[in-house]
Amino acid sequence: MTTHASAPTGGTAAPGPATCPQEYYRALRASGAATDLDGRITVLGRSEVDSALRTPQTFSSRMDAVDLGNARPLIPLQIDPPDHAQYRRLLDPLFSLKNIAHLAPAITQRVTELIDAVIDQGHCDFSADLAVPLPFLVFGDLLGLPHSDHPALMSIVNDIMRPDPQDAGRQSAAHAGKRCYAFFSHALDERTRSPRDDLLTQLLHATVDGRRPSREELLDMCFMLLLGGMDTTSDALECAFAFLATHPEHRRQIVQEPGIVPTAVEELLRWESPTTSVRRYLLADIELGGCPMSAGQRVDVVLASANTDDLHDPQAFEVDLRRAPNHHVAFGAGVHRCLGAHLARMELRIALQEWHRRIPEYTLTADHLLDYRLAGTLRYLERLPLSWPTPTHTQGLHR
């Protein structure tokens, strides 16, 4: 099914970067493919976004681009070429599709357990009951961390990614960064004493161009893995299910044709783009999209705008769950493309498959208004109350 997407029926406000980014960024693009927006250079057009993402020698990803509470550059996110390549050679194999394939049964089991906890009650807050806990469970399984560690990790992520707006100095993020380093330092010490079959042990025994990473490098990798593996996947789940709950024709398509889930995931990532933008630091004067930019400026490279640029793709405003190929940039592009994209896709696919297999009929709970928010560059929902008719869930649907 290919349809022109409409505003959600959950009562969202006027178009904005959180509430309706597709229309918001289309209006901005009318003024240019790149522009100065409230004092920040903003790259909007698809070809211009591609150019920025693929030229790190000009659009740097180094620490100057964004403060994440870290004391040193996060690896590999805040390392530019040529040094960036050595870390990707270490990390890419660990997160390759082949290397994470064995996680599918465990992720399916986690999704099943989360659905089991709510299916008989006929309603849930999808955010609190599935979207947030699932990535933490998967991350814990991957790194060999017990469930008891999840509150500490969640607190760290929230303080960094969703800081108090009154905290102009980002003291909470800096403090969370220190807690993050301390947490993983302790975890690495445990793996040194007692190696396990988990990713932390693999990192301890990995090599970077023939040498073992230093303790600081390992901690910087763990810091990045925590931020990259938690909030963004939760946000993607929330945005995808909010769309499906308010667009029943697309929801029914997944129920009737479960084989389209892989392409549906890609289309929902394209259309919803939970990571709205990435930030870069300019290393040289340049003009892009007709907009002059100066070395030392910070730049927002807007993935959400590129993904729905109808000058680049006339069908960009049509949501087609069978779209293939789908060349979106929801995971970025170029050397800094998302390290955990394969794992995120696996979590999204399994969540969509299992949920629609067992809860095919669901809607946004009556009278609830979709409250999309932005935390930095991440688009999410604080709550996503869903309801479904429990009499339809027979024993056959339960198992």
At 208-258, the pLDDT tens digits run 888 999 999 999 999 999 998 888 999 999 999 999 999 999 999 999 999
Nearest CA to 335 out of 66, 71, 43, 78 is that of 78
13: alpha, beta or left, given left = phi > 0 and alpha = psi -120 to 50? beta
Q: What pLDDT, on a 0 to 100 scale, did the predictor assign at position 177?
A: 96
Nearest-5° Cα angle at 362, 353 to 248? 85
Q: Kindly state the average pLDDT of the residues 344-356.
A: 98
Nearest CA to 226 out of 281, 183, 278 is that of 183
Residues comprising the chain, all counted: 399
Q: What pLDDT, on a 0 to 100 scale, did the predictor assign at position 398?
A: 45
Three-class SS state of 287: strand
Q: What pLDDT, on a 0 to 100 scale, did the predictor assign at position 13?
A: 55
Q: What pLDDT, on a 0 to 100 scale, did the predictor assign at position 229?
A: 84
pLDDT at 396 over 60: no
Three-class SS state of 94: helix
- 197: Cβ contacts below 8 Å, ≥ 6 apart: 144
- State pLDDT tens for residues 115-174: 999 999 999 999 999 999 999 999 999 999 999 999 999 999 999 988 777 776 678 999
Find out if CATH 1.25.50.10 is the number for domain 2-398.
no
Query: Average pLDDT over the chain, rounded to whole?
Result: 93
The one-letter code for the residue type at 191 is: R
Q: What pLDDT, on a 0 to 100 scale, did the predictor assign at position 168?
A: 66
Domain boundaries, the chain: 2-398
How many other C-beta atoms can be found within 10 angstroms of the C-beta atom of residue 151? 10
What are the percentages of helix, strand and coil residues in the chain, rounded to 5?
50, 15, 35
Q: Kindly state the average pLDDT of the residues 371-383.
A: 94
CA distances from 205 to 72, 222, 395 (A): 22, 14, 47
pLDDT at 6 over 60: no
Write b or e for each residue in 199-233: b if 16 or more Cβ atoms lie within 10 A of its Cβ, otherwise e: bbbbbeebebeeeebeeebbbbbbbbbbbbbbbbb
- State pLDDT tens for residues 21-64: 999 999 999 999 999 988 899 999 999 999 999 999 999 999 99
pLDDT at 7 over 80: no
